[in-house]
Structure formats: C-alpha cells, structure tokens
Amino acid sequence: MTTISPYWTPVEFPAAVSKNAQTIVDDSGNNQKSQAASVNLIGADAAQALKANLNIKPRKIDQFREKEIEDIKPLILGVLGARHSATRQHSMGVAMYTREFCKSLGLPTEKIKKIEMGALCHDIGKISLPDDFFNQKNLTPTVKCVYKSHPVQSYNILSRVAPLSKNIALIAKCHHEKYDGTGYPEGLKGNQIPIGARIVAVADAFDSMTRKKYPKQKVKTFEEAIKVIRENRSGQWDPALTEPFIRVITADSNQLYKKVLFST
C-alpha cells in the first residue's frame, strides 16, 4: 500500500544497526550470552548512529528541540522499516491515533508532540529481536525473553539521543505496563505509569489488534478490538482513558480508523 503518512520519508538506516541486527538474525538462539550481547550492541549502535546522522552535540537530555525531533522521525522509521516493515507501519499508526487522542483530551501542544514522538518511537527496541519472533517460528523461551526486553531496549536507545526528553524515552519503556500492575518491565500500577505511556498503551493495543503485523496473527475487526478495550478497562488500561479513546476512533463513522489504515 502506498504510504501517504506525514511521518514517513525514505532514508538510509544506519549501517551499524544493520550489521548488529544481522548478528541477531544469524544467531541460532542456542548461545544466549552471545544473543544478549548483540541486543546491547544494537541499542548502543542505534543511539550512536542517530547522533552521527544528526550531528548532535551533547546537551541536557530534558531539553526539547523541535527541529531535531522532526529530523529524528524519518531516521527512527528508516531503522524500523529496514528491520521489519510492519513494525514501521504500526508505529506510524500508533502515532496517528495518539496525536488525535491527545488533541481530544485538550493537552498542550508541546505535550502532544512529546507523547506523539513517544508513540512513534515506542517499538524501536524491536530491532534487537531475532527473525524467529517476526516470522513467529521457533518461539523459544529465549526469544520470548528477548521480546519482553524491547521496552527497555527502546528506552536505552532513546535516552542516549540528546534532543529526546527523558519523558519520551519513558513512554517507550512503559508502554507495556498495565493499569492493574501486571505489566512489564517494572510492574508499575495506576498513576505510577506516566500519563503518556497510558495514552500510548491504548493506541498501541488498538492498532496491534486491527493490523496484521505477523504471519500467524489473527486480526480483529474494528468492533472486536473495541470490545476488548472495554472489557479490559481498569485491568490493562487506564479506565479514565478507554471510553474517550473509543469516542475518538468511532467519531465521524470511524474516520480516524479508516485514515490510519489507508495512510500506513
């Protein structure tokens, strides 16, 4: 499908990331120490490559630089797309849902931009995952363990890139936390989870359910996905956010949902 999303422009992804991603691809999964080392290398190389591409000088991490944030977007998507095109498309979809949801909540423009950026970057840590995860074959305990490390890997990558505030990196780290405290990586509960991550978590889940990301995935219909969100409010998601999100995606005959499907 032709991409018309405002997020995507073709870029070359960093060679360092490609090299170390191949290390993961070539690893059989039997050498867990080697695999874990490769995961850490990818996180470090991705951050260094982004800095090199942007020619960024070290500065306080909480400093928000809008121009540099805009420059980072295509690089993030280039890295994701080179590793797994469906994850790139998913990230664009989550960012689009997040942006419109934040607008509906009346959040300040600067906060919306930060949360939207967190949504766009939330899965960057998945570049560390082996092919067995993406093709859903040989899902060994090692592969599943590496999968659960991807929010932390996202944080490790993003927190090393100076223009990205700590809040943006935390959104990526916490997007798999659950409102009832049963999520990961830290088991945060309720308001312990940053508000940006709680917003992105709902958008992430909805896009994941309605988009075919993996070969063996059964995609849910629009109505089925909404039902899941309603049934799991207070458990997986913030109950104060679920109905407002549903109102946004069902407005104007599901217009936002249709826009995301056709533009990503």
Domains and CATH numbers, the chain: 15-263 (1.10.3210.10)
Q: What pLDDT, on a 0 to 100 scale, did the predictor assign at position 170?
A: 96
Q: What pLDDT, on a 0 to 100 scale, did the predictor assign at position 153?
A: 94
**Residue range 251-262: mean pLDDT, rounded:** 91
**Residue range 201-205: mean pLDDT, rounded:** 98
Output 41 or 85, whichever has higher pLDDT: 85
Evaluate whether 175 touches 155 at the Cβ level (below 8 Å): no
Question: Tens of pLDDT along 131-179?
Answer: 888 888 777 888 888 899 999 999 999 998 866 778 899 999 999 999 9
Question: Tens of pLDDT along 26-83?
Answer: 333 334 444 444 444 455 555 555 545 544 444 444 444 677 778 888 989 999 999 9
Q: What pLDDT, on a 0 to 100 scale, did the predictor assign at position 154?
A: 95
Residue 104 has pLDDT above 80, yes or no: yes
Q: What pLDDT, on a 0 to 100 scale, did the predictor assign at position 65?
A: 63
Q: What pLDDT, on a 0 to 100 scale, did the predictor assign at position 187?
A: 97
Calpha distance 117→167 (Å, rounded): 10
**Residue range 80-87: mean pLDDT, rounded:** 94
**Residue range 231-253: mean pLDDT, rounded:** 95
Structure tokens of 209?
């359910």
Structure tokens of 143?
């592969």
Q: What pLDDT, on a 0 to 100 scale, did the predictor assign at position 162?
A: 67
Calpha distance 114→164 (Å, rounded): 9
CA distances from 4 to 10, 33, 261 (A): 12, 41, 11
| Reported pTM | 0.77
Length reported for the chain = 264
Residue 6 has pLDDT above 60, yes or no: no
Q: What pLDDT, on a 0 to 100 scale, did the predictor assign at position 72?
A: 86
**Residue range 213-219: mean pLDDT, rounded:** 87
Half-sphere exposure of 167 (CA within 13 A, CB side): 16
Out of 36-40, 90-94, 102-106, 157-161, least confident range: 36-40
Please, where are the H alpha helices in the chain? 15-26, 32-54, 66-83, 85-104, 109-121, 131-134, 141-148, 150-158, 166-174, 195-210, 222-231, 239-263
| 3-state SS, one letter per residue, for 71-117 | HHHHHHHHHHHHHCHHHHHHHHHHHHHHHHHHHHCCCCHHHHHHHHH
Output 94 or 132, whichever has higher pLDDT: 94
Q: What pLDDT, on a 0 to 100 scale, did the predictor assign at position 223?
A: 96
Q: DSSP 3-state assignment of 237?
A: strand
Q: How confident is the model at residue 12 (pLDDT cuts 50, 70, 90)?
A: very low
Calpha distance 10→155 (Å, rounded): 24
Residue 205 has pLDDT above 60, yes or no: yes
Calpha distance 221→209 (Å, rounded): 8
Evaluate whether 41 touches 153 at the Cβ level (below 8 Å): no
List b or e across 164-190, with b for residues whose CB sees 16 or more CB atoms inside 10 angstroms.
Answer: bbebbbbbbbbbbbbbeeebeeeebee
Q: What percent of the chain has pLDDT over 90?
A: 56
